[in-house]
Amino acid sequence: MAGPSEILIIGGGGHGRVVADAAELLGLDIEGFLDDHREAQLATQSPRFTWQGALPGSRAGAPDRPWILALGDLKARRAVLTVLSASAGPLPINIIHPRAIVSPSACLGLGIFAGPGAIIHACASVEHHAIINSGAIVEHDCAIGENAHIAPGAVLGGNVTIGPDTLVGLGARVLPNIRIGGGCIIGAGAVIVRNVPDGSTVKGVPGR
Ligand SMILES: CC(C)(COP(=O)(O)OP(=O)(O)OC[C@H]1O[C@@H](n2cnc3c(N)ncnc32)[C@H](O)[C@@H]1OP(=O)(O)O)[C@@H](O)C(=O)NCCC(=O)NCCS
């Protein structure tokens, strides 16, 4: 029987490992993880991380305790969110690594992960289930859409907008005031100098 303070991690792969590490540093009690693979990577990280069942939507129902989505793949994350949005139950929780920096004037939704070294600066807003990964910088007044992923080392200048379900790849740079649509992939190391429409893949310097 789960205790009242226990949390559930949805996704037991590489990103699940990172989220579990941060949760432990925060002193949270991890009840276990959901994954379609009982032998997912998280199972080998620590005997404390026990497999609790399949991902919602395949065989299992909605989580019965606070949860965080820790799959890395944005499409797989969206599929789980679609299932969970139709169910009532405990709310998702934010896991903000103790070495992340979040401005007191930033506005965070629910189910957000911020990794070690991430910075979410003044008056930025981050919608539900977004990932601000290790060392990523979200400058002042940025708006990050639901389930977007700002990958490790990516840097967004001030007042950048990132649409939902968009990946900003490893180490990419986005110039201030740029708007990137939803469902985009920004390649690792790209420098984005113009607005990007929904559903685009952009790579290179400057990004094309
Ligand atoms: C840009 C990206 C989406 C392209 O993926 P893809 O369509 O599968 O591309 P491919 O690997 O087939 O490569 C196609 C071409 O693009 C080049 N390319 C791939 N990624 C590139 C990048 N980031 N920047 C510049 N060129 C890139 C390849 O060298 C190849 O060039 P060629 O045709 O001259 O040989 C992908 O490489 C990428 O950067 N994804 C982001 C990954 C990431 O940061 N994830 C976060 C993990 S936490």
* Dist CA 100 CA 102 (whole Å): 7
Would you say how long the chain is, in residues?
Answer: 208
* Dist CA 42 CA 57 (whole Å): 20
* Dist CA 65 CA 83 (whole Å): 16
Three-state secondary structure call for residue 103: coil
What sign does the CA torsion over 164, 53, 56, 30 have? negative
Query: What is the pTM assigned to this prediction?
Result: 0.96
Ligand 1 pocket residue status of 201, Cβ below 6 Å? yes
* Dist CA 91 CA 187 (whole Å): 32
Q: Which residues of 153-186 are buried (b: 16+ CB within 10 A; e: fewer)?
A: bbbbbbbbbbbbbbbbbbbbbbbeebbbbbbbbb
Residue carrying structure tokens 């395949």: 58
Quick: pLDDT tens for 101-116: 999 999 999 999 999 9
Q: Are 184 and 166 a contacting pair, CB within 8 Å?
A: yes
- Of residues 86 and 181, more confidently modeled: 181
**91 has a pLDDT exceeding 50:** yes
In degrees, rounded to 5, the angle at the alpha carbon of residue 63 between the alpha carbons of residues 60 and 68 is 115
Ligand 1 pocket residue status of 185, Cβ below 6 Å? yes
Quick: pLDDT tens for 131-148: 999 999 999 999 999 999
Ligand 1 pocket residue status of 191, Cβ below 6 Å? no
Residues annotated as catalytic (active site), given as ranges: 140
Quick: pLDDT tens for 148-166: 999 999 999 999 999 999 9
* Dist CA 160 CA 114 (whole Å): 18
Nearest residue by C-alpha to atom 30 in ligand 1: 203
- Domains in the chain: ranges and CATH: 6-85 (3.40.50.20), 94-200 (2.160.10.10)
